Structure 1
């Protein structure tokens, strides 16, 4: 029987890497549903206005900050296991630099906004974009956008709780699947 040492974190990291590789497509490939040069400039302007109204930048920054808050403790633990020490100051610099770069790249040429415009162009007519803008300028639309970051933040907490609920179920399911295929799972004591 083959023996594999598996920790839940290493299994999750491997699964995450596989998902990123599989969903990224061929190396260097860009996903561009429509050629932005062929999009009516007035429609581009309206799509960008809509993206501003729905607070895309704020939601992306919230997601980036949340990701960093979860990533840095994992990185800190990994570096500590290799007898390396990274101070809180270094982590603060890394976080600040990362968030600053992400914020700049959202609106930069070929940044997130420019990459999202073709998606909206593909799925919405110019009249639909204008209708959405009118909606987001109404009291209800403003409430939807005002609450979006808070709902996203609370949704991340719900997602984290759900992942914690799924963790033991996933570990058991993975162990059963691997054992069924002839692998003997050697459990590490908690570190």
Structure 2
């Protein structure tokens, strides 16, 4: 009987720990807006899906977009985050993203990525041009 109680207590403790960690992960996902970005990505690429499934009705696509909600992406990503981050690291990330530096990072990262993409595109064109002259 004592063994059964101990085993149950261990499983309940692990389950509670997992629920706490999952809750923190979802907080981080919402804080960093990963859930919203994933949902927006689906909306931006809906045309590709529609081409792949041309027989689907407008009603189908309306329902599809409802199903691809930020909340569902938070649920989807939580176990992935759990695989890569410890609970302590999640706590640290939440603290960071609540600081002024963390908030600024959230604000400027899309701008940095956009500029980086332009710079990479320019570098690619220059490299192609240089190699075409060199090889031809």
TM-score, scaled to structure 1: 0.41
Query: Is 2:4 the counterpart of 1:43?
Result: no
1:54 to 27, 32, 35: 32
SS at match of 1:130: helix
1:115 to 60, 63, 76: 76
Residues 53, 136 of structure 1: 8 Å contact kept: yes
| Larger relative contact order, structure 1 or 2 (CA cutoff 8 Å, min sep 6) | 1
SS at match of 1:119: helix
Query: Is 2:99 the counterpart of 1:138?
Result: yes
1:153 to 106, 111, 114: 114
Q: How much does 1:145 deviate?
A: 1.1
Structure 1 pair 139/63, CA: closer, same or farther in 2 (3 Å)? farther
Higher helix share: 2
RMSD over equivalenced CA pairs, Å: 4.0
Unaligned runs of 5+ in 1: 1-37, 76-96, 172-191
Query: Is 2:83 the counterpart of 1:105?
Result: no
Structure 1 pair 154/63, CA: closer, same or farther in 2 (3 Å)? farther
SS at match of 1:40: helix
Residues 54, 145 of structure 1: 8 Å contact kept: yes
Distance 1:107 1:59 in 2: 8
Structure 1 pair 170/122, CA: closer, same or farther in 2 (3 Å)? farther
Q: Name the structure 2 match of 1:26.
A: none
SS at match of 1:140: helix
Residues 36, 70 of structure 2: 8 Å contact kept: no
Higher strand share: 1
TM-score, scaled to structure 2: 0.54
Distance 1:137 1:126 in 2: 17
Q: Name the structure 1 match of 2:56.
A: none
